[in-house]
Amino acid sequence: MATVKFSIYRYNPEQGGAPVMQQYTLDQIEPGMMVLDALKRIKVLDESLSFRYSCGEGVCGSDGLNINGINRLSCITQLDGLGGRVEIRPLPGLPVIRDLVIDLSLFYQQYRAVKPYLVRTDPEPEVEVLQSPQQRGKLDGLYECVLCGCCSTACPSFWWNPDKFRGPAALLQSYRFLADSRDQITEQRLDELEDSYKLFRCHSIMNCAQVCPKGLNPTEAIGRIKQMMLGKMI
């Protein structure tokens, strides 16, 4: 039954003033308890604290937070590995709406821009468009993204140009459809990314791959997009 001290980012734009770090202490922390469980207990003590969550098991991607300096999902981050002090901040780089809740509009805008859906130019077939196991295999490591935003908000290139650079999450999804044998607008997708910002602000910093709660590697996907562009040029 350990005691853990929490330092949590608090900001309410309606009340004005600068953001502050508020301290909370929780007793009776049990082994295996997640950060989200602790936040829910703090919410009982102080109902003014705001944060997002939904499924609570790492599937919905609603509760991405910066915990002890690293972007991760609070529902699958155990308190055991964090020591006796836990600092919780909103994901960095995007506007804070309140406390730990951020405005993800730019993130979703970039996601929408990569057309994250299959596009067919052929007439609708009578039956499903089939894939071989090999073709389907190419989507492994791409389709699992839950759009939590941990990667894009850990990316310095996205911090500086969130309105122009697609960011790792959107580019991973872009490659997910470029790699899909059923998609038929490969050329159009590649042309759309060919400028100084959308793809090429990526400098392979690899923060995205380091923080992804699903263990995905957006940097590698971005590299593959560059290879496809190169192949198209040559």
Partner 1 sequence: MSRQLSGLKAWLWQRLTAVYMALFTGYFLLTLATLPAPLHYYHWHDWLSATGPAVALALFYVALLLHAWVGIRDVVLDYVHNAALRAALLGLLVIALFAAGLWVVKILLMVV
Residue 127 or 230 with smaller CB distance to partner 1: 230
37, containing H or E segment: helix 35-45
Residue 119 or 229 with smaller CB distance to partner 1: 229
Residue 36 or 199 with smaller CB distance to partner 1: 199
* Interface ranges with partner 1 (CB under 8 A): 157, 160-161, 194-197, 199-201, 203, 226, 229-230, 233
Contact of 115 with 177, CB cutoff 8 Å: yes
**Shortest separation between residue 207's beta carbon and partner 1, angstroms:** 15
Contacts 24+ apart (CB under 8 A), 61-68: 61/146, 61/147, 61/148, 61/149, 62/148, 63/36, 63/148, 64/91, 64/148, 64/149, 64/150, 64/153, 64/213, 65/35, 65/89, 65/90, 65/91, 65/100, 66/90, 66/91, 66/92, 67/35
- Other Cβ atoms less than 10 A from the Cβ of 232: the count is 12
**Shortest separation between residue 156's beta carbon and partner 1, angstroms:** 8
**Shortest separation between residue 107's beta carbon and partner 1, angstroms:** 19
Residue 34 or 193 with smaller CB distance to partner 1: 193
CA 200, 203, 204, 209 dihedral sign is negative
Residue 181 or 186 with smaller CB distance to partner 1: 186
Geometric angle at alpha carbon 85, from 83 and 91, rounded to 5°:
105
**Shortest separation between residue 137's beta carbon and partner 1, angstroms:** 27
**Shortest separation between residue 172's beta carbon and partner 1, angstroms:** 19
* Nearest CA among 84, 85, 87, 94 for reference residue 72: 87
**Shortest separation between residue 206's beta carbon and partner 1, angstroms:** 16
Residue 56 or 223 with smaller CB distance to partner 1: 223
The C-alpha atoms of residue 122 and residue 129 are separated, in whole angstroms, by: 11
127 three-class SS: coil
Residue 164 or 214 with smaller CB distance to partner 1: 164
**Shortest separation between residue 92's beta carbon and partner 1, angstroms:** 16
